[in-house]
Amino acid sequence: MGVSISIDDFGTGYSSLSYLKRFPISYCEDPRSFIAGVPAHGDDVGIVHAIIALARILKLGIIAEGVENVEQHVSLWGCGCHEAQGYLLSKPVEPSELE
């Protein structure tokens, strides 16, 4: 059918590692709450690196949410996260503006 399943805000709230086994997941979304601290806060960087490494090992895509500055983008790219969303790339737009 061409449908992919993504876990939003992976590692926060009710997300669980068991979801990675139970569901046919294609992507994990690295949450904005961790991305906000990259590259300035070591704990956030460590968590982001761990989520990216886990996604790679499980052959999942990884999308960084809330990328708002060049430093975040460069840091994420350097550790293997090549997909992102956030104000650095585009402000929210109406569906009619996507064309």
Sorted by where each begins, the domain ranges of the chain are 24-91
Q: What is the pLDDT of residues 66-85, one digit of tens each?
A: 999 999 999 999 999 999 99
pLDDT digits (tens, 9 = 90+) for 14-34: 778 888 888 899 999 999 999
For the whole model, what pTM was predicted?
0.86
Name the CA radius of gyration of the chain, rounded.
14
Q: Is the dihedral of CA 84, 87, 92, 96 positive or negative?
A: negative
Residues 73, 48: contact at Cβ < 8 Å?
no
